[in-house]
Chain A
Amino acid sequence: MASKRRFQAAMLAPVIVLLIGLTVFPFIYTMANSFTDYYYLAAESKQFVGLSNYMKVLNDDLFQRAVWNTVKFMLLAVSIETALGLGIALLVESMKRGLRLLRVTLLLPSLLPPVTVALVWQMMLSNHNGIINHLLSIFGMGPFNFLMDIRLAFHAILLIDIWQWTPFAFLLLYAALQAIPRSQYEAARVDGAGGWKVFAHITLPHLWPGLLLVVLLRTIDTFRLFDKVNILTGGGPANSTTTVTQYIYRHGVYNLQFGYSAAASIIMVLLVLAFSIAYILRSIRGSQ
């Protein structure tokens, strides 16, 4: 028994060390810094400032705007990507031919690095030589200043994210669809169930864990939206695309105000937790 426990401990040790080194310690260190005035280039050592950083962050209009933009972006991006991903997964599953080619083609956008995606779309959305405005001009529309117009910039970023990450939702949901026992569909057909009833009573219940996983992963990822905004709009026009991660980047990474940005980071973690708590609780209950 003792040797079994030792073996278990030995097997778990690398993971625990990594978890402590890469997650627990940084979290505690960030938390500790969030109560200080830590500025990396300061000559003096950091001082304890209590909740001052948290108060400043929460009272900052720009942070409030960043939170609102991020939440709005998250709700729209996650729901549209999940719905489109589900639709495409159902469509692809029903296809008889060209399945492989379509699967590979669909996945291409999610294989690209975010910076490449942002730069490619910057060219495509260009006012002058961009292909989007060129295509729209064929229909007598435009040109549109997608990234500088306050009415369009947020939606342009949203569109790019949907283009890039819908394939990811598709992939997970398609895999979940494949795992549904065929016999249930056959039984439903024998019983004379229609398409909608089959979807509502067989497909959807089986897909539910996959859907929740997609929602959770995309929620966390959309909360970290940064590259596209930083490259394409700089948070503008008029802060309409600024996000929480961009706010943290500007203060922490670019201006090296580690204490202040640590407080903003902790608030962001709490926000992500608030949006994903339902899934986490469900997972804990499931494992019990």
Chain B
Amino acid sequence: MKKSLGIVLSAVMAVGLLAGCQSGGSDKLVIAARGGSHVTAMEAVKGAFEQEHNVTVEIVGLEAADLKQKVSLDAKNKKGAYDLIMADDPWMPEFSEAGLFANLSELDVEADADFEESSLALGKHPYDTGELYALPFAGNVQLFFYNKELFDKHGYNVPGSWEEVLNMAEEAHAADGVAGYVIRGQQGNPIVSDFLPIFWAYGGQVFDENWKAQVNSEAGRDALNTYIRLLAAGENYETTDIVSSLAEGRGAMALGWPSWFISGETAQADYAPIPSKATTSGESMSTGMIGNWMMGVAANSQNPELAAQFLTFITSAESQKTMVEHGGVPTRKSVYLDSELAAKYKHFPVQLEALQNSQARPRTPKWSLAEEALGAELSAAIAGTKSVEDALAAANQAMDQVMQ
């Protein structure tokens, strides 16, 4: 009797454990999300969907690297733990190629024209032209930040070229002893994200059409020389120090993501789109690095239809308007152009303009490795352990090896 009872109890526990390991049945949706303000924003609006569909929406907030690892490992399971997945846009080629996302057109999710085109293109595979696998959830794009008091003191206008940025940085540094320009030169993703907008302004492209690295080029050398001169007139800080230095007037200019400086209606520094030209007389380029967070339905979701409905709901204009109040970043033009919101959130017009002139990082599944190779050499160049020429030649070679 005791033995039978033990077996029954063990079986019940095992079933319970297995059930707990899988995503919910038809009454539950599980979202693997980037933690922080994205989760807060979704939590603020999900109630309406839960009520309408009689379903519980569980949002699992994870740190970026953790999120990538967890959703990748879950991809091989027949029944996935997650119904919806958030992905940083550079991950899209890798995830789409590996089949992590369900094809949204097969789930009747529409890519309506209200989404900003540059954001929507990130969710398609191949980029911009292929099938739709994810919708843009958060429309991040890098901006140019500056300390207005320092600008007013020196009579500066917002620069339109990197030549002007450099001149202003050197002048401010010499006159006031402040950091004329603050770079974010930590090895890896930070330095690459900080350098590429300058590289693009000089007309550079990371790869050619055959995926051969092109950083060891005239544009690369000019951009890196400018970057090193900017550092000489300033400092190399990590995020917190970049924000505080500009906010306190100890730094004049820097690039950054809006969420670092702007919280709700207040901003710790003034902002503008990233200068699009190398020189004042140069050609204008798309320089604002786009960094959207995308959301798609997991290919192994047990509730793909319901997940698709939630995706439509959470990326709708109504939801985005509400989420803005809770730290959400819109991806729809109508939300950016909403007069009430634009009056409250002064950065909306600038951010929309930056999105419309943005540039995506190379759309290859191997970008993460290529970025690492480039980041190490850029770091060597600014540290002075390699010359600009040697660093770019080494970066080119390492990136070509990655792409083989």
Mark B186-207 against chain A: 1 for CB-CB distance below 8 A, else 0: 1111110000000000000000
**Given contacts A40-B76, A43-B99, A128-B250, A238 and B237 within 8 Å (CB-CB):** no
Chain B CB within 10 Å — which of A147, A148, A233, A235 has the most? A148
Asked if A40 contacts B72 (CB within 8 A), the reply is yes
Greatest chain B CB density within 10 A among A41, A150, A239 is at A41
Which of A14-22, A185-193, A248-256 lies at the interface?
A248-256
Please determine whether A236 and B187 come into contact, CB atoms closer than 8 angstroms: yes
A interface size (C-beta, 8 A) = 27
Q: Hey, which chain A residues are within 8 Å of B187, CB to CB?
A: 233-239
B72 / chain A contacts, CB cutoff of 8 Å: 40-41, 256
Q: Chain A residues with Cβ under 8 A from B94's Cβ?
A: 41
**Pairwise interchain contact B376-A235, C-beta atoms closer than 8 A:** yes
The reply to whether the CB of A276 lies closer than 8 angstroms to some CB of chain B is: no
Q: Is A198 an interface residue (CB 8 A)?
A: no
For the complex, what is the distance from the CA of A254 to the CA of B63, rounded to whole Å?
A: 12
Q: Identify the interface centre among B94, B237, B250: most chain A CB within 10 Å of its CB.
A: B237
The answer to whether B244 has its CB under 8 Å from any CB of chain A is yes
Interface presence of A287 (CB below 8 A): no
**A42 contact set on B, CB distance < 8 A:** 98
Report chain A residues within 8 Å CB of B369.
255
**B91 CB to nearest A CB, Å:** 11
A-B pairs with CB below 8 Å: how many? Answer: 90
Question: Which stretch in B119-127, B267-275, B283-291, B381-389 binds the other chain?
Answer: B381-389
Q: Is B235 an interface residue (CB 8 A)?
A: yes
A250 close to B372 (CB less than 8 A): yes
Which residues of chain A come closer than 8 Å to B189, judged between CB atoms? 234
Task: Judge whether B65 is part of the interface by a CB distance below 8 angstroms.
Answer: yes
> Are A239 and B241 touching (Cβ within 8 A)?
no
Give complex CA distance A129, B242 in Å.
Answer: 12
Are A126 and B240 CB-contacts (below 8 A) given A236-B188, A237-B187, A239-B379?
yes
Among A43, A127, A233, A250, which residue has its beta carbon within 8 angstroms of that of B186?
A: A233
A145 and B188 alpha carbons, distance in the complex (Å): 18
Contact indicator A234/B383 (Cβ below 8 Å): no
> Per-position contact with A for B237-271: 1 when CB-CB < 8 Å, else 0?
11011001100101000000000000000000000
* B376 and A239 contact, CB distance less than 8 A: yes
Which chain A residues border B244 with CB–CB below 8 Å? 128-129
Output the least CB separation between A240 and chain B (Å).
Answer: 8
Q: Which residues of B contact A129 (CB under 8 A)?
A: 244
Neighbouring A residues of B386 by C-beta, 8 Å = 238
**Which residues from chain B contact A213 at a C-beta distance below 8 Å?**
none
Q: Please, what's the 1-or-0 string for B372-404, where 1 marks a CB less than 8 Å from any CB in chain A? A: 100110011011111000000000000000000
Q: Which residues of A are interface residues toward B (Cβ below 8 A)?
A: 40-43, 62, 122, 126-129, 145, 147-148, 150, 233-240, 250, 253-256
10 smallest beta-carbon distances between A and B, as pairs: A236-B187, A41-B98, A238-B380, A234-B188, A150-B383, A238-B383, A237-B383, A236-B379, A148-B236, A234-B187
10 A-B pairs besides A41-B100, A145-B236 with CB distance below 8 A are A40-B76, A127-B241, A128-B240, A150-B383, A150-B385, A234-B186, A234-B189, A237-B185, A239-B380, A253-B69
